[in-house]
Amino acid sequence: MFDNLYLNLFNYYKPRIKQKAGDLAVFYISLIQIALFILIMEFFIVFSKQMNLSLSVLSGSKILFLMIFGSVVIYFKNWMTYTGRKRNVLKTKLKKNSEHSIIVLWLIPVALIFLCVMFWLKLI
């Protein structure tokens, strides 16, 4: 799924901005994965608060550190994965009928970030 989204965005921007299309696509897929990671973390934090489970082991600063560290790891993993040979292999496997609208592609991270903010507001 992530590979398909990455290649759709890459193929859309490749004719327009040749040199930065790969960087933009890596940023895009990292943004989606980071938003999902933060959303899952926030869900478990809200769930544990509602179940009256003690999270005294994890303070707010430790949770923030985990989110930042996880985000850096996700971005580095995507940078290593989608740069070079894997992108060329994925381009040959991409089905031509799986192209999505650019508006839909950019609405996915916006919706995920909106959900992250909504869960974050529940934490406060």
Long-range contacts from 86-89, C-beta under 8 angstroms, 24+ separation: 87/7, 87/10, 87/22
Unique residue bearing structure tokens 């040199």: 19
Task: State residue 74's pLDDT score.
Answer: 93
Say if residue 107's pLDDT is above 60.
yes
52: number of CA atoms within 13 Å, CB side?
Answer: 0
Q: What is the pLDDT of residues 30-85, one digit of tens each?
A: 999 999 998 888 888 777 777 776 655 566 677 788 888 999 999 999 888 888 77
Please give the model's pTM, rounded to 2 decimal places. 0.81
Q: Domain locations in the chain?
A: 2-123
